[in-house]
Protein backbone atom coordinates (compact mmCIF):
# COMPACT_ATOMS: atom_id res chain seq x y z
CA UNK A 1 0.00 0.00 0.00
CA UNK A 2 2.79 2.39 0.87
CA UNK A 3 4.37 1.75 -2.47
CA UNK A 4 1.11 2.43 -4.27
CA UNK A 5 0.69 5.74 -2.51
CA UNK A 6 4.28 6.64 -3.26
CA UNK A 7 3.85 5.79 -6.91
CA UNK A 8 0.74 7.89 -7.21
CA UNK A 9 2.12 10.90 -5.41
CA UNK A 10 5.61 10.77 -6.83
CA UNK A 11 4.69 12.53 -10.02
CA UNK A 12 2.46 15.20 -8.54
CA UNK A 13 5.15 17.45 -7.05
CA UNK A 14 6.95 17.28 -10.39
CA UNK A 15 3.84 18.26 -12.28
CA UNK A 16 4.30 21.78 -13.55
CA UNK A 17 1.03 23.53 -14.33
CA UNK A 18 1.49 24.60 -17.91
CA UNK A 19 -1.37 27.04 -17.92
CA UNK A 20 0.72 29.87 -16.51
CA UNK A 21 3.42 29.50 -19.13
CA UNK A 22 1.14 29.00 -22.11
CA UNK A 23 1.02 31.62 -24.81
CA UNK A 24 -1.77 32.21 -27.29
CA UNK A 25 0.25 30.69 -30.11
CA UNK A 26 1.38 27.57 -28.24
CA UNK A 27 0.05 24.30 -29.59
CA UNK A 28 -1.07 21.79 -27.04
CA UNK A 29 0.62 18.48 -26.45
CA UNK A 30 -0.86 15.02 -26.19
CA UNK A 31 -0.89 13.04 -22.95
CA UNK A 32 -1.01 9.28 -23.66
CA UNK A 33 -2.65 7.25 -20.89
CA UNK A 34 -2.24 3.49 -21.25
CA UNK A 35 -4.57 1.21 -19.29
CA UNK A 36 -2.55 -1.89 -18.47
CA UNK A 37 -4.56 -5.13 -18.82
CA UNK A 38 -6.19 -6.21 -15.56
CA UNK A 39 -5.40 -9.83 -16.33
CA UNK A 40 -1.85 -10.26 -17.52
CA UNK A 41 -1.86 -12.30 -20.76
CA UNK A 42 0.53 -15.27 -20.95
CA UNK A 43 1.75 -14.10 -24.33
CA UNK A 44 3.44 -10.68 -24.22
CA UNK A 45 3.45 -10.12 -27.98
CA UNK A 46 0.42 -7.80 -27.94
CA UNK A 47 1.85 -5.70 -25.13
CA UNK A 48 5.26 -5.64 -26.81
CA UNK A 49 3.62 -4.20 -29.93
CA UNK A 50 1.75 -1.64 -27.84
CA UNK A 51 4.85 -0.52 -25.96
CA UNK A 52 6.77 -0.11 -29.21
CA UNK A 53 4.23 2.61 -29.94
CA UNK A 54 4.54 3.98 -26.39
CA UNK A 55 8.33 4.10 -26.81
CA UNK A 56 7.94 6.19 -29.97
CA UNK A 57 5.59 8.56 -28.17
CA UNK A 58 7.99 8.83 -25.24
CA UNK A 59 10.79 9.73 -27.62
CA UNK A 60 8.84 12.62 -29.17
CA UNK A 61 8.60 15.06 -26.29
CA UNK A 62 7.75 18.00 -28.57
CA UNK A 63 4.35 16.49 -29.29
CA UNK A 64 3.75 14.09 -26.41
CA UNK A 65 3.97 14.27 -22.66
CA UNK A 66 5.66 11.38 -20.88
CA UNK A 67 3.13 8.52 -21.26
CA UNK A 68 1.36 7.22 -18.17
CA UNK A 69 0.60 3.54 -17.61
CA UNK A 70 -2.18 2.80 -15.12
CA UNK A 71 -1.72 -0.51 -13.35
CA UNK A 72 -4.31 -1.95 -10.99
CA UNK A 73 -2.78 -2.97 -7.66
CA UNK A 74 -4.68 -6.25 -7.92
CA UNK A 75 -2.74 -7.00 -11.09
CA UNK A 76 0.46 -6.09 -9.27
CA UNK A 77 -0.26 -8.51 -6.42
CA UNK A 78 -1.37 -11.28 -8.78
CA UNK A 79 1.92 -11.01 -10.68
CA UNK A 80 4.27 -10.04 -7.84
CA UNK A 81 6.21 -13.33 -8.06
CA UNK A 82 6.22 -13.58 -11.84
CA UNK A 83 9.72 -12.88 -13.11
CA UNK A 84 8.62 -12.36 -16.71
CA UNK A 85 6.06 -9.78 -15.63
CA UNK A 86 8.52 -8.01 -13.36
CA UNK A 87 11.09 -7.89 -16.13
CA UNK A 88 8.57 -6.56 -18.64
CA UNK A 89 7.35 -4.01 -16.17
CA UNK A 90 10.85 -2.80 -15.35
CA UNK A 91 12.51 -3.05 -18.75
CA UNK A 92 9.68 -1.91 -20.98
CA UNK A 93 6.71 -0.34 -19.19
CA UNK A 94 8.67 1.74 -16.66
CA UNK A 95 11.28 2.65 -19.26
CA UNK A 96 8.79 4.30 -21.58
CA UNK A 97 6.09 5.51 -19.19
CA UNK A 98 5.38 6.63 -15.65
CA UNK A 99 3.54 3.83 -13.87
CA UNK A 100 0.55 4.88 -11.80
CA UNK A 101 -0.58 2.13 -9.47
CA UNK A 102 -4.05 2.37 -8.01
CA UNK A 103 -6.71 0.22 -6.42
CA UNK A 104 -9.59 0.31 -8.88
CA UNK A 105 -13.09 -1.14 -8.69
CA UNK A 106 -13.22 -1.43 -12.45
CA UNK A 107 -11.51 -0.33 -15.64
CA UNK A 108 -13.21 3.05 -15.75
CA UNK A 109 -11.67 3.89 -12.39
CA UNK A 110 -8.30 3.18 -13.97
CA UNK A 111 -9.30 5.67 -16.67
CA UNK A 112 -10.25 8.20 -14.01
CA UNK A 113 -6.95 7.78 -12.15
CA UNK A 114 -4.83 7.98 -15.29
CA UNK A 115 -6.68 10.79 -16.99
CA UNK A 116 -6.84 12.67 -13.69
CA UNK A 117 -3.09 12.42 -13.19
CA UNK A 118 -2.42 13.48 -16.78
CA UNK A 119 -4.86 16.37 -16.41
CA UNK A 120 -2.98 17.69 -13.40
CA UNK A 121 0.19 17.74 -15.50
CA UNK A 122 -1.51 19.29 -18.53
CA UNK A 123 -2.43 22.70 -19.83
CA UNK A 124 -5.50 24.28 -21.44
CA UNK A 125 -4.52 23.40 -25.00
CA UNK A 126 -3.60 19.82 -24.24
CA UNK A 127 -5.32 16.62 -25.27
CA UNK A 128 -5.60 13.37 -23.32
CA UNK A 129 -5.44 10.11 -25.21
CA UNK A 130 -6.71 6.90 -23.66
CA UNK A 131 -5.11 3.69 -24.94
CA UNK A 132 -6.61 0.41 -23.69
CA UNK A 133 -3.96 -2.23 -23.11
CA UNK A 134 -6.11 -5.33 -23.53
CA UNK A 135 -6.31 -5.42 -27.31
CA UNK A 136 -4.69 -7.84 -29.74
CA UNK A 137 -2.15 -5.31 -30.95
CA UNK A 138 0.17 -8.01 -32.22
CA UNK A 139 -2.35 -9.25 -34.78
CA UNK A 140 -2.95 -7.83 -38.25
CA UNK A 141 -6.00 -5.92 -37.05
CA UNK A 142 -4.12 -4.83 -33.94
CA UNK A 143 -1.29 -3.40 -35.97
CA UNK A 144 -3.84 -1.58 -38.12
CA UNK A 145 -5.40 -0.10 -34.99
CA UNK A 146 -1.99 0.85 -33.55
CA UNK A 147 -1.15 2.62 -36.79
CA UNK A 148 -4.28 4.74 -36.66
CA UNK A 149 -4.72 5.48 -32.96
CA UNK A 150 -2.55 8.59 -33.12
CA UNK A 151 -5.20 10.16 -35.35
CA UNK A 152 -7.57 10.51 -32.38
CA UNK A 153 -5.62 13.16 -30.42
CA UNK A 154 -4.41 14.77 -33.65
CA UNK A 155 -8.01 15.27 -34.77
CA UNK A 156 -8.89 16.91 -31.45
CA UNK A 157 -5.88 19.23 -31.76
CA UNK A 158 -6.13 20.07 -35.45
CA UNK A 159 -9.89 20.42 -35.75
CA UNK A 160 -10.42 21.81 -32.24
CA UNK A 161 -12.76 19.03 -31.24
CA UNK A 162 -13.76 18.26 -27.67
CA UNK A 163 -13.79 14.49 -28.00
CA UNK A 164 -12.83 12.04 -30.71
CA UNK A 165 -14.13 8.49 -30.43
CA UNK A 166 -12.19 5.70 -32.09
CA UNK A 167 -14.47 3.12 -33.63
CA UNK A 168 -13.65 -0.40 -34.71
CA UNK A 169 -15.88 -1.44 -37.55
CA UNK A 170 -17.57 -4.79 -37.05
CA UNK A 171 -20.27 -6.69 -38.85
CA UNK A 172 -23.81 -6.64 -37.48
CA UNK A 173 -23.43 -10.08 -35.90
CA UNK A 174 -20.37 -9.25 -33.84
CA UNK A 175 -21.33 -9.68 -30.18
CA UNK A 176 -20.19 -6.19 -29.14
CA UNK A 177 -22.27 -4.74 -31.96
CA UNK A 178 -25.27 -6.85 -30.91
CA UNK A 179 -24.92 -5.70 -27.31
CA UNK A 180 -24.82 -2.08 -28.46
CA UNK A 181 -27.77 -2.54 -30.81
CA UNK A 182 -30.12 -4.43 -28.46
CA UNK A 183 -28.69 -3.21 -25.16
CA UNK A 184 -26.88 0.11 -25.20
CA UNK A 185 -28.89 1.97 -27.83
CA UNK A 186 -32.21 0.40 -26.88
CA UNK A 187 -31.72 1.54 -23.28
CA UNK A 188 -30.33 4.92 -24.34
CA UNK A 189 -33.43 5.55 -26.46
CA UNK A 190 -35.51 4.96 -23.34
CA UNK A 191 -33.62 7.14 -20.89
CA UNK A 192 -32.18 9.79 -23.18
CA UNK A 193 -34.02 9.58 -26.53
CA UNK A 194 -32.89 12.85 -28.12
CA UNK A 195 -29.30 12.48 -26.97
CA UNK A 196 -29.20 8.85 -28.10
CA UNK A 197 -30.17 9.88 -31.62
CA UNK A 198 -27.44 12.51 -31.68
CA UNK A 199 -24.84 10.02 -30.41
CA UNK A 200 -25.86 7.52 -33.09
CA UNK A 201 -25.39 10.17 -35.76
CA UNK A 202 -21.70 9.81 -34.95
CA UNK A 203 -21.04 6.32 -33.72
CA UNK A 204 -22.39 2.80 -33.51
CA UNK A 205 -19.95 2.02 -30.68
CA UNK A 206 -20.72 4.41 -27.81
CA UNK A 207 -18.82 2.20 -25.36
CA UNK A 208 -15.52 2.46 -27.23
CA UNK A 209 -12.38 2.45 -25.11
CA UNK A 210 -10.47 4.36 -27.75
CA UNK A 211 -10.83 8.11 -27.40
CA UNK A 212 -9.06 11.42 -27.02
CA UNK A 213 -10.48 14.34 -25.10
CA UNK A 214 -9.66 18.04 -24.86
CA UNK A 215 -8.45 19.61 -21.61
CA UNK A 216 -11.49 21.75 -20.87
CA UNK A 217 -13.95 18.96 -21.56
CA UNK A 218 -11.93 16.55 -19.44
CA UNK A 219 -11.99 19.11 -16.63
CA UNK A 220 -15.78 19.23 -16.85
CA UNK A 221 -16.12 15.47 -16.78
CA UNK A 222 -13.58 14.92 -14.02
CA UNK A 223 -15.37 17.36 -11.75
CA UNK A 224 -18.66 15.50 -12.14
CA UNK A 225 -19.57 12.05 -10.96
CA UNK A 226 -17.40 9.41 -12.61
CA UNK A 227 -18.92 5.99 -13.15
CA UNK A 228 -16.92 2.80 -12.61
CA UNK A 229 -18.05 1.45 -15.96
CA UNK A 230 -19.57 2.60 -19.25
CA UNK A 231 -17.91 5.98 -18.78
CA UNK A 232 -17.66 6.55 -22.55
CA UNK A 233 -21.45 6.56 -22.81
CA UNK A 234 -21.60 9.07 -19.95
CA UNK A 235 -18.98 11.27 -21.62
CA UNK A 236 -20.90 11.20 -24.89
CA UNK A 237 -24.09 12.16 -23.07
CA UNK A 238 -22.27 15.05 -21.38
CA UNK A 239 -20.89 16.05 -24.77
CA UNK A 240 -24.34 16.13 -26.35
CA UNK A 241 -25.92 17.97 -23.41
CA UNK A 242 -23.22 20.64 -23.55
CA UNK A 243 -23.13 20.76 -27.39
CA UNK A 244 -19.50 19.73 -27.49
CA UNK A 245 -17.71 19.02 -30.73
CA UNK A 246 -17.72 15.26 -31.32
CA UNK A 247 -15.81 13.35 -33.99
CA UNK A 248 -15.80 9.66 -34.75
CA UNK A 249 -12.86 8.06 -36.51
CA UNK A 250 -12.44 4.46 -37.70
CA UNK A 251 -9.33 2.91 -36.23
CA UNK A 252 -9.74 -0.60 -37.56
CA UNK A 253 -11.96 -3.20 -39.08
CA UNK A 254 -12.59 -6.64 -37.62
CA UNK A 255 -15.63 -7.54 -39.66
CA UNK A 256 -13.75 -10.24 -41.53
CA UNK A 257 -12.37 -12.04 -38.48
CA UNK A 258 -14.02 -15.10 -36.95
CA UNK A 259 -13.68 -13.83 -33.38
CA UNK A 260 -15.97 -11.36 -31.66
CA UNK A 261 -17.92 -13.93 -29.67
CA UNK A 262 -18.72 -13.29 -26.05
CA UNK A 263 -20.55 -15.46 -23.58
CA UNK A 264 -24.15 -14.70 -22.75
CA UNK A 265 -23.10 -14.11 -19.13
CA UNK A 266 -20.71 -11.40 -20.29
CA UNK A 267 -23.40 -9.84 -22.50
CA UNK A 268 -25.84 -9.91 -19.59
CA UNK A 269 -23.37 -8.20 -17.30
CA UNK A 270 -22.65 -5.50 -19.87
CA UNK A 271 -26.31 -4.75 -20.55
CA UNK A 272 -27.12 -4.63 -16.82
CA UNK A 273 -24.24 -2.25 -16.24
CA UNK A 274 -25.42 0.05 -18.98
CA UNK A 275 -28.89 0.12 -17.49
CA UNK A 276 -27.54 0.87 -13.99
CA UNK A 277 -25.43 3.74 -15.26
CA UNK A 278 -28.22 5.24 -17.34
CA UNK A 279 -30.67 5.04 -14.44
CA UNK A 280 -28.21 6.72 -12.09
CA UNK A 281 -27.28 9.37 -14.62
CA UNK A 282 -30.93 10.12 -15.42
CA UNK A 283 -31.76 10.55 -11.71
CA UNK A 284 -28.72 12.73 -11.24
CA UNK A 285 -29.92 15.06 -13.98
CA UNK A 286 -33.61 14.96 -13.10
CA UNK A 287 -33.70 15.40 -9.32
CA UNK A 288 -34.56 19.09 -9.63
CA UNK A 289 -37.54 18.44 -11.91
CA UNK A 290 -40.96 18.35 -10.25
CA UNK A 291 -42.58 14.94 -10.64
CA UNK A 292 -39.32 13.21 -11.44
CA UNK A 293 -40.21 10.21 -9.30
CA UNK A 294 -43.31 9.38 -11.34
CA UNK A 295 -41.43 9.83 -14.60
CA UNK A 296 -38.63 7.66 -13.26
CA UNK A 297 -41.01 4.82 -12.45
CA UNK A 298 -42.45 4.92 -15.98
CA UNK A 299 -38.99 4.89 -17.56
CA UNK A 300 -37.80 2.19 -15.18
CA UNK A 301 -40.70 -0.10 -16.09
CA UNK A 302 -39.97 0.39 -19.79
CA UNK A 303 -36.28 -0.07 -19.17
CA UNK A 304 -36.87 -3.45 -17.57
CA UNK A 305 -38.91 -4.56 -20.59
CA UNK A 306 -36.21 -3.34 -22.95
CA UNK A 307 -33.47 -5.06 -20.97
CA UNK A 308 -35.38 -8.34 -20.83
CA UNK A 309 -36.13 -8.21 -24.55
CA UNK A 310 -32.55 -7.33 -25.38
CA UNK A 311 -31.21 -10.15 -23.26
CA UNK A 312 -33.66 -12.61 -24.83
CA UNK A 313 -32.38 -11.63 -28.28
CA UNK A 314 -28.76 -11.87 -27.15
CA UNK A 315 -29.39 -15.24 -25.53
CA UNK A 316 -30.98 -16.59 -28.71
CA UNK A 317 -28.10 -15.31 -30.80
CA UNK A 318 -25.47 -16.66 -28.41
CA UNK A 319 -26.81 -20.18 -28.79
CA UNK A 320 -26.27 -20.80 -25.08
CA UNK A 321 -28.76 -22.44 -22.77
CA UNK A 322 -29.60 -20.14 -19.88
First to last CA, the chain: 41
Question: Residue 171 CB, nearest distance to other proteins (Å)?
Answer: 16
Give the list of residues 6+ apart from residue 167 with CB closer than 8 angstroms, or none: 203, 204, 205, 208, 210, 248, 249, 250, 251
Q: Is residue 315 a contact point for other proteins (CB under 8 A)? A: no
With CB under 8 A as the contact rule, the residue among 111, 119, 135, 202 that binds other proteins is 202
**Choices 84-92, 96-104, 239-247, 284-292; region in contact with other proteins by CB under 8 A:** 239-247
With CB under 8 A as the contact rule, the residue among 53, 100, 155, 254 that binds other proteins is 155
Q: Is residue 241 a contact point for other proteins (CB under 8 A)? A: no
With CB under 8 A as the contact rule, the residue among 154, 195, 262, 315 that binds other proteins is 154
Q: Which CB sits closer to other proteins, 64 or 264?
A: 64
Which residues, numbered 18-77, are part of the site for other proteins (CB under 8 A)?
none
Q: Is residue 201 a contact point for other proteins (CB under 8 A)? A: yes
DSSP state at residue 253: E
Q: Is residue 212 a contact point for other proteins (CB under 8 A)? A: no
Q: Is residue 144 a contact point for other proteins (CB under 8 A)? A: no
Burial class (CB in 10 A: 0-12, 13-18, 19+), 63: middle
How many CB atoms lie under 10 A from the CB of residue 222?
15
In Å, how far from its chain's centre is CA 245?
A: 18
Q: Which CB sits closer to other proteins, 151 or 300?
A: 151
Q: Which CB sits closer to other proteins, 35 or 239?
A: 239
Q: Is residue 161 a contact point for other proteins (CB under 8 A)? A: yes
Closest Cα to residue 208, out of 186, 188, 232, 178? Answer: 232
Q: Is residue 129 a contact point for other proteins (CB under 8 A)? A: no
**Choices 73-81, 147-155, 259-267, 290-298; region in contact with other proteins by CB under 8 A:** 147-155
Q: Is residue 171 a contact point for other proteins (CB under 8 A)? A: no
Q: Is residue 232 a contact point for other proteins (CB under 8 A)? A: no
Q: Which CB sits closer to other proteins, 241 or 250?
A: 250
Q: Is 112 helix (H, G, I), strand (E, B) or coil?
A: helix
With CB under 8 A as the contact rule, the residue among 229, 249, 281, 296 that binds other proteins is 249
Give the list of residues 6+ apart from residue 266 with CB closer than 8 angstroms, or none: none
**Choices 5-13, 138-146, 158-166, 211-219; region in contact with other proteins by CB under 8 A:** 158-166
Q: Which CB sits closer to other proteins, 48 or 160?
A: 160
Q: Is residue 159 a contact point for other proteins (CB under 8 A)? A: yes
Phi then psi for residue 58, to 5 deg, are -65, -30
Burial 290-306 (b: 16+ CB within 10 A, else e): eeeeeebeebeeebeeb
Phi then psi for residue 35, to 5 deg, are -95, 105
Sign for the CA dihedral angle at 165, 309, 263, 41 comes to: positive
The residue count of the chain comes to 322
Provide the binding-site residues for other proteins, judged by CB under 8 A. Answer: 148, 151, 154-155, 158-159, 161, 201-202, 245-250
Amino acid sequence: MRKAAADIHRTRPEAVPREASSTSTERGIVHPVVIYPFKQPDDYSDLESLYQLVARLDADRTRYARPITVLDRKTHYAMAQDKLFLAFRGDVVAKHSDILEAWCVDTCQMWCSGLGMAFEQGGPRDVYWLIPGDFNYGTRVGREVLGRLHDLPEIVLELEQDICIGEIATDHNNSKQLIDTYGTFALLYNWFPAEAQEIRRFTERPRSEFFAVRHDFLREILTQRWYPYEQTVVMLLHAVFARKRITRFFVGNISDLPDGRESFASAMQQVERIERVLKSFWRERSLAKPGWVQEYHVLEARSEQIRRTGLTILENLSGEQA
